Amino acid sequence: MEDKNGSANGPVGRMDAALDRRGFTTRGLRVRAGVMAVAAVGLVAGLGVAGWALLADDMTNRFGPDSVCDEVVSSRAVNEALGSGKVSAEPYEGNVSRGTAVCTVQVAGGMFGDDRNIRVSLGESKDVFHLPIPPGARTFAASANGGAVGAVRGDEAWALLPEGCPNGLWARVTAYSGKDPDPLKLARLAVSAADRIADQRGCGKAPLPVLHELAPAATERELDGDAVCGLPGVSVQRSPDKRYREAVTVGSDPLWTCEITPEDAHGSTSSLVIATESRLRPDATDRDTRPAFGRARWVGSLPRDEIVVTCHGRPVYFRIGTIRHLGHLFSTSDEAWKQFLTAGGQAIGCEPIL
């Protein structure tokens, strides 16, 4: 049998009994108790709403800045690369767009403490040797991306400033988020920063489009002694007690690279590089440079390290990194250069160099 609301066993009766036990025996005291209960419920609800608002503020950039680092870094691009969260930047002295400062950007992780950081800076390459291209990097070329040029590997990406800006200037972004970001998204952040730096410097013929394609990383294989790095005509002296590996990129735009590494743990890596993108470094064709081989001329910051050749009216740069480590593979360093210039020039469709 159900209890009636007004009976001693009903809800009202049980509430009266509970209030009597707590000393609320008069109507006035009971009214005050009711008001206090409603206020307590309202306070808890208000704290919950306020807490959620604070949490939501940290978990998104809804109320945060559209850009940081003096407008060099887009908050949206940062969120796309590192994930959602409120974006802020640490104070710094200098000017990022002029290369006199490094800006550290933070994406807040809210109450969970999952903060992520990224550093943004402007770099400059005086020659191909100083380009930040570590082994295993994935490049992106102007021909496939509407003018965007650069590379990405792991937690770091860089992109050249747009055409119309000084050659050899690039924006670099380095993430410190515990795990490597998506390479395409990190590269897009570098392109965005390069575009914004160009805008602040007042250079660049047109804004860079959104990056949409990365080249595959170099593939490693056993060194082919008859066609080193896939270049027919580049052959080496074989040594039965020495074995090598080569890691070769797929295309030549913006540059082609081959890393040659001995299989034993004591050897040093050497590299062959052909830079077909003229914006990778300052133009060296109008300098008073020393003749090298045929039409080629020495231009590197290190002795006998880098060569420039004009191919179809554009400068192309050939580089052999740490050539002394290849001394026992070729009869002479001059022979190594001549083979590389001949085969490499043919591979990229350049006019005869020697």
Parse the chain into domains and list their residue ranges. 67-201, 219-347
Instruction: Please name the amino acid found at residue 197.
Output: I
CA–CA gap between residue 284 and residue 297 (Å, rounded): 9
CA–CA gap between residue 16 and residue 5 (Å, rounded): 12
Of these ranges, 135-139, 325-329, 336-340, the one predicted with the greatest mean pLDDT is 336-340
What's the pLDDT score for residue 22? 53
Whether the pLDDT of residue 165 is over 80: the answer is yes
- The string of pLDDT tens digits covering residues 178-222 is 788 999 999 999 999 999 999 999 999 888 988 988 999 998 999
CA–CA gap between residue 135 and residue 122 (Å, rounded): 21
Kindly report the pTM of this predicted structure.
Answer: 0.80
Distances (CA, A) of 68 to 64, 106, 180: 10, 10, 22
Grouping H, G, I as helix, E, B as strand and the rest as coil, residue 130 is helix
Strand partners, 174: 119, 156
- The string of pLDDT tens digits covering residues 250-264 is 888 999 999 998 887
Of these ranges, 16-30, 170-184, 187-201, the one predicted with the greatest mean pLDDT is 187-201
Q: In sequence order, which residues have a C-beta less than 8 Å from that of residue 210 and are 6 or more positions away?
A: 188, 191
- Cβ 235 vs Cβ 339: under 8 Å: yes
Measured in degrees and rounded to the nearest 5, phi and psi for residue 231 equal: -105, 100
Residue in 49, 111, 120, 103 with CA at minimum distance from that of residue 86: 111
Q: In sequence order, which residues have a C-beta less than 8 Å from that of residue 334 and are 6 or more positions away?
A: 293
Chain-wide mean pLDDT for the chain? Answer: 84
Task: Count Cβ atoms below 10 Å from residue 218 Cβ, excluding itself.
Answer: 21
Instruction: Please name the amino acid found at residue 271.
Output: S
pLDDT-derived band at 287 (thresholds 50, 70, 90) equals confident
CA–CA gap between residue 277 and residue 258 (Å, rounded): 17
What's the pLDDT score for residue 49? 42
What's the pLDDT score for residue 40? 45
- Cβ 323 vs Cβ 270: under 8 Å: yes
Grouping H, G, I as helix, E, B as strand and the rest as coil, residue 5 is coil
- The string of pLDDT tens digits covering residues 62-106 is 888 999 999 999 999 999 999 999 999 998 999 999 999 999 999
* Helical H segments across the chain, by residue range: 11-21, 27-59, 75-82, 142-145, 183-201, 333-347
Grouping H, G, I as helix, E, B as strand and the rest as coil, residue 285 is coil
Q: What number is the average pLDDT over the span 168-174?
A: 96
pLDDT-derived band at 16 (thresholds 50, 70, 90) equals low
CA–CA gap between residue 264 and residue 90 (Å, rounded): 45
Whether the pLDDT of residue 308 is over 60: the answer is yes
CA–CA gap between residue 154 and residue 217 (Å, rounded): 12
What's the pLDDT score for residue 58? 56
CA–CA gap between residue 214 and residue 139 (Å, rounded): 6
- The string of pLDDT tens digits covering residues 137-164 is 999 999 888 889 999 999 999 999 999 9
What's the pLDDT score for residue 186? 97
Strand partners, 232: none
Grouping H, G, I as helix, E, B as strand and the rest as coil, residue 321 is strand
Q: Higher confidence at residue 348 or residue 9?
A: 348
